[in-house]
């Protein structure tokens, strides 16, 4: 009896969720690429008198919920900032625990990614990660490489400046060996040297925990991204918060330097 009640509750919840998703889809455009700075794990734990790592552990539930909701909504790319270049400066115990959590999550979630047709990718200085993390990451990437529904892109040991410098070095090498001419260097060529080559730029960037900063995330790619900051701490973030962010996004007018009139005319002509 209890089971029957709880399963029908889950069904009702699922039904309501699908309805909200359909509404969002019919109301406006669903961002093709969403990037998230998952912040506030430490504060979530501190508020409860728990060690910071308890917040990181709890944050995994938010990742699961958001990945699932994004795939259902038809988001094509979801980039999650999981660990920054600067995060290596944190206490050893916290860094070690984060690495262990990464290994565990990659191991336990890969089958679910596979089942849901989600392709895993990673950007960052992967070689700087412990070998075991590298191994799990490579295996999960390899296993899911033919999946088509959505790309889940993890930014690990990543920073925007690091990525830009890496791109500059590669371009300089290619100029030196004659593959690239200096005058050929433009936005498009530069983007193709970044770790995100081939991905569209994020339409929407969400940061949790109420911090109004970018913290060295996707510096080049967010030139015209819509920013959304919410006070919610990452372990409390669920799909309903994501829906709010998308609703907010749908109310915006993206002008890319043009006038409102130009944008309206463009979308009227169907080529915005």
Catalytic residues: 39, 87
127 is in an annotated binding site: no
DSSP 3-20: HHHHHHHHHHHHHHHHHH
DSSP 8-69: HHHHHHHHHHHHHHHHHHHHSPPPSEEEEE---HHHHHHHTT--HHHHHHHHHHHHHHHHHH
85 is in an annotated binding site: yes
Cα 89 off chain centre by: 22
The answer to the question of residue 39 lying near Mg ion (CB under 5 A) is yes
Which of Mg ion, ligand IPE, none does residue 9 bind (CB under 5 to 8 Å by kind)? none
Looking at beta carbons, which residue is closest to ligand IPE? 42
Binding site for ligand IPE (CB under 6 A): 37-43, 81-84, 87, 98, 209, 211, 213, 215, 234
Closer CB to ligand IPE, 101 or 175, in the complex: 101
48 is in an annotated binding site: no
| 150-158 sheet: strands from edge to edge | 118-123, 150-158, 77-84, 33-37, 204-207, 226-229
Q: How far is the CB of 251 from ligand IPE (least distance, A)?
A: 26
The answer to the question of residue 234 lying near Mg ion (CB under 5 A) is no
Q: Do residues 208 and 38 lie in contact, with contact meaning Cβ atoms separated by under 8 Å?
A: yes
41 is in an annotated binding site: yes
Q: Do residues 97 and 105 lie in contact, with contact meaning Cβ atoms separated by under 8 Å?
A: no
Which of ligand IPE, Mg ion, none does residue 43 bind (CB under 5 to 8 Å by kind)? ligand IPE
**Hey, which residues does 35 pair with through a beta bridge?**
79, 205
259 is in an annotated binding site: no
Q: How far is the CB of 16 from ligand IPE (least distance, A)?
A: 30
Closer CB to Mg ion, 39 or 58, in the complex: 39
Q: How far is the CB of 83 from ligand IPE (least distance, A)?
A: 5
Closer CB to ligand IPE, 71 or 218, in the complex: 218
Q: How far is the CB of 218 from Mg ion (least distance, A)?
A: 17
| CA 227 – CA 223 distance, rounded (Å) | 11
Q: Is 110 helix (H, G, I), strand (E, B) or coil?
A: helix
CB burial of 104-134 (b: ≥16 within 10 Å; e: otherwise) equals: ebbeebbeebbebebbbbbbbbbeebeeebe
Which of ligand IPE, Mg ion, none does residue 235 bind (CB under 5 to 8 Å by kind)? none
39 is in an annotated binding site: yes
Task: Could you list the residues known to form a binding site for substrate, using ranges.
Answer: 40-44, 52, 56, 84-86, 88, 90, 207, 213-215
Task: Could you list the residues known to form a binding site for Mg(2+), using ranges.
Answer: 39, 226
Q: Using CB under 5 A as the criterion, which residues of the chain lie in contact with Mg ion when the complex forms?
A: 39
């Amino acid at each position: 009896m209890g089971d029957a009640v709880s399963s029908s509750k889950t069904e009702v919840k699922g039904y309501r969720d699908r309805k909200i998703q359909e509404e969002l889809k019919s109301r406006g455009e669903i961002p093709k690429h969403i990037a998230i700075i998952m912040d506030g794990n430490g504060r979530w734990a501190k508020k409860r008198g728990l060690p910071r790592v308890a917040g990181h552990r709890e944050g995994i539930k938010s990742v699961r919920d958001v990945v699932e909701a994004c795939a259902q909504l038809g988001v094509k790319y979801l980039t999650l900032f999981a660990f920054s270049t600067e995060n290596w400066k944190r206490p050893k115990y916290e860094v070690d625990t984060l690495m262990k959590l990464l290994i565990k999550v990659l191991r336990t979630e890969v089958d679910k990614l596979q089942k849901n047709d989600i392709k895993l990718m990673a950007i960052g200085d992967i070689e700087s990660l412990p070998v075991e993390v590298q191994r799990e990451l490579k295996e999960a990437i390899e296993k899911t490489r033919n999946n088509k529904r959505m790309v889940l892109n993890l930014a690990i040991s990543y920073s925007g400046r690091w990525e830009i410098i890496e791109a500059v070095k590669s371009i300089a090498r290619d100029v030196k060996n004659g593959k690239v001419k200096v005058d050929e260097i433009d936005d498009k060529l530069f983007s193709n040297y970044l770790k995100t080559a081939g991905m569209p730029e994020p339409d929407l960037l969400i940061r949790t925990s109420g911090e109004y900063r970018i913290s060295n995330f996707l510096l080049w790619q967010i030139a015209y991204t819509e920013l959304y900051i919410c006070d919610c701490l990452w372990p409390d973030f669920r799909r309903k918060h994501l829906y709010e962010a998308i609703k907010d996004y749908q109310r915006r007018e993206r002008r890319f330097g043009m006038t409102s009139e130009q944008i309206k005319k463009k979308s009227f002509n169907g080529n915005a």
